Amino acid sequence: MLKGILAISGQPGLYKLIAETKSRIIVESLTTGKRMPASTSAKISALEDIAVFTHSGDVPLKDIFRKIDTKEGGGPAPDAKSPDKDVRKYFEELIPDYDQDKVYLSDIRKVIAWYNILQETSMLDFSPVP
């Protein structure tokens, strides 16, 4: 589900990998559909490689998205720009043992915003991979 979905530092939203060359990649915004080049020197993170620190180990982003999906009945999560205490409380309900020293509020907001983008664009698929 998250294969080929990227977050690019300094750029809002999420992107789909379209093509790759030696010095850059071509990405397409999931929200606007616009394509643009991204330098391979930019900080680019693949969502499938992201995990959240907990006191009992790391939780992959796809598992967190699955928990949000279950909690929200397949609908959108609350607004990532909600008040700080509401965002933290929501995340604690999902991942009660997340490491509050390593997982910042900005990280939590990104996770929620990313979920909402993927949910809005119908890119969430939790069916088992054969």
Cα distance between residue 23 and residue 90, in whole Å: 40
pTM, two decimals, is 0.90
Helix (H, G, I), strand (E, B) or coil at 71: helix
130 has pLDDT over 80: no
DSSP labels, 73-118:
TTSPPPPTTS-HHHHHHHHHHH-TTB-TTTS-HHHHHHHHHHHHHH
41 vs 25 pLDDT, higher one = 25
Considering only the C-alpha atoms of the chain, give the largest distance between any 2 of them, rounded to a whole number of Å.
Answer: 44
- What is the rounded average pLDDT for all residues in the chain? 93
The 10s digit of each residue's pLDDT in 80-118 is 999 999 999 999 999 999 999 999 999 999 999 999 999
